[in-house]
């Protein structure tokens, strides 16, 4: 019988795990060609609207393979249910026995997604972060910042949102972290005062334009995970000194890089992969005046790494 763990147990286990380190190792293995990641499985629904993604794979010669299901059904909020849900399944790579079911309700997907933002900041943020800027006051808008706190000294934050209510809720939810939080409805203010920017929205139109981006800025775009979504003007990727993909293979098909290549603003050959940026310092920024952009679409190796770490902790406890 598989072991079954619920969200509360998983959250407790996460307190004892260096998720960012596990995700970093995963990206290195991925870019070194040591991870098998088949194309993302996808179900799209129209009434009510929603999408389900199945991400799965394994690190070669590892103990486990992992299948992850994550869904987003935005109308759920009208029913008093969270929009996101999901689970992770951990199988033995030796026998295919199902060892563990993590009923994480999408929490592990959120945590590993935020951890990827932290990994990116560790290797691509300018040496002195003046102010952190965040587009999006939702779950990732919060969790990306929480994941940055151990990586970046700066405690000055400006958050852009689409309404006063969500911005007030953001400030309230983040009040325990000792941050100086400014909220705004004006994206210009973010670009003008921040040199580490995270976009975490489901936008289908660009939130930032190339002429707004100052020298020395790093942008992590993590909201766009389908072909339709787009947070950055393609010209930003054209202007950047370094464009980094979590997975070049996936970014050919979706996300900001896909849009910039389609628009002719970027050549896919000029994109480098995050795992290689981690293992090769020559692929990082070479001065604090350079502009860098990282595009995160979410790779199954993140799910593999976080579920393995959580299972190891829970199995030992």
Residues contributing to the site for a copy of itself (CB under 8 A): 1-2, 4, 6, 36, 38, 41-43, 45, 48, 50, 52, 54, 56-58, 65, 67, 69, 71-73, 76, 79, 81, 85, 87, 89, 91, 93-98, 101, 103
Q: Which is nearer to a copy of itself, 83 or 210 (CB)?
A: 83
Cα distances from 132 to residues 73, 145, 212, in angstroms, run 29, 8, 15
Q: Which is nearer to a copy of itself, 7 or 252 (CB)?
A: 7
Number of H helices, E strands in the chain: 11, 15
Handedness of CA 230, 234, 235, 240 (dihedral sign): positive
Segment 70-78 long-range contacts (CB within 8 Å, at least 24 positions apart): 70/106, 70/109, 71/106, 73/45, 73/48, 73/49, 74/48, 74/49, 74/50, 75/48, 75/49, 75/50
Closer by beta carbon to a copy of itself, 105 or else 189: 105
Q: Are strands 242-245 and 271-273 parallel, antiparallel or unpaired?
A: parallel
Work out how close the CB of 305 gets to a copy of itself at its nearest, in angstroms, rounded to a whole number: 17
Whole-number minimum distance, CB 76 to a copy of itself, in Å?
5
Cβ distance to a copy of itself smaller for residue 59 or 291: 59
Which residues on neighbouring strands pair with residue 21, listed in sequence order? none
Q: In whole angstroms, how close is the CB of 10 to a copy of itself at the nearest point?
A: 13
- Cβ at position 146, least distance to a copy of itself in Å: 25
- Alpha carbon distance 256, 40 (integer Å): 17
Closest CB to a copy of itself among residues 95, 127: 95
| Min CB(174)–a copy of itself separation in Å | 28
**Rounded Cα distance, 30 and 24, in Å:** 10
Q: Kindly report the CA angle at 315 between 309 and 317, in degrees rounded to 5?
A: 105
Give 65 or 135: the residue with its C-beta nearer to a copy of itself.
65
CB of 198 to a copy of itself, least distance (A): 26
Q: Which is nearer to a copy of itself, 144 or 302 (CB)?
A: 302
Q: Are 104 and 83 in contact (CB under 8 A)?
A: no
**Residue carrying structure tokens 């929009």:** 83
Q: How far is the CB of 41 from a copy of itself (least distance, A)?
A: 5
Do the Cβ atoms of 175 and 120 come closer than 8 Å? Answer: no
For residue 293, CA distances in Å to 10, 74, 197, 268, 279 come to 32, 28, 9, 14, 18
């Amino acid at each position: 019988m598989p072991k079954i763990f619920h969200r509360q147990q998983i959250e407790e286990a996460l307190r004892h795990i260096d998720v960012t380190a596990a995700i970093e190792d995963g990206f290195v293995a991925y870019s070194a060609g040591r991870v098998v990641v088949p194309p993302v499985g996808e179900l799209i629904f129209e009434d009510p609207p929603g999408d389900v993604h199945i991400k799965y794979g394994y690190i070669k010669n590892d103990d486990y393979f992992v299948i992850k299901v994550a869904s987003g059904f935005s109308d759920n909020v009208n029913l008093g249910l969270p929009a996101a849900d999901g689970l992770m399944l951990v199988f033995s790579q030796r026998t295919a026995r199902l060892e563990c079911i993590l009923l994480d309700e999408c929490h592990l997907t959120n945590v590993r997604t935020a951890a990827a933002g932290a990994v990116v900041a560790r290797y691509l943020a300018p040496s002195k972060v003046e102010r952190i800027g965040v587009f999006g006051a939702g779950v990732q808008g919060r969790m990306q910042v929480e994941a940055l706190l151990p990586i970046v000294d700066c405690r000055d934050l400006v958050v852009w949102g689409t309404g006063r209510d969500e911005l007030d809720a953001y400030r309230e939810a983040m009040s325990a972290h000792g941050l100086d939080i400014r909220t705004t409805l004006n994206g210009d203010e973010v670009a003008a005062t921040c040199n580490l920017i995270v976009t975490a929205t489901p936008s289908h139109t660009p939130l930032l334009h190339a002429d707004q981006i100052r020298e020395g800025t790093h942008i992590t775009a993590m909201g766009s995970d389908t072909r339709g979504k787009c947070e950055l003007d393609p010209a930003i990727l054209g202007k950047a000194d370094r464009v980094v993909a979590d997975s070049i293979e996936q970014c050919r098909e979706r996300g900001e890089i896909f849009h910039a290549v389609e628009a002719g603003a970027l050549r896919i050959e000029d994109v480098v992969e995050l795992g290689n940026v981690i293992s090769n310092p020559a692929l990082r920024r070479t001065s604090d005046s350079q502009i860098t952009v990282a595009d995160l679409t979410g790779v199954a190796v993140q799910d593999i790494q976080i579920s393995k770490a959580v299972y190891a902790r829970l199995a030992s406890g």
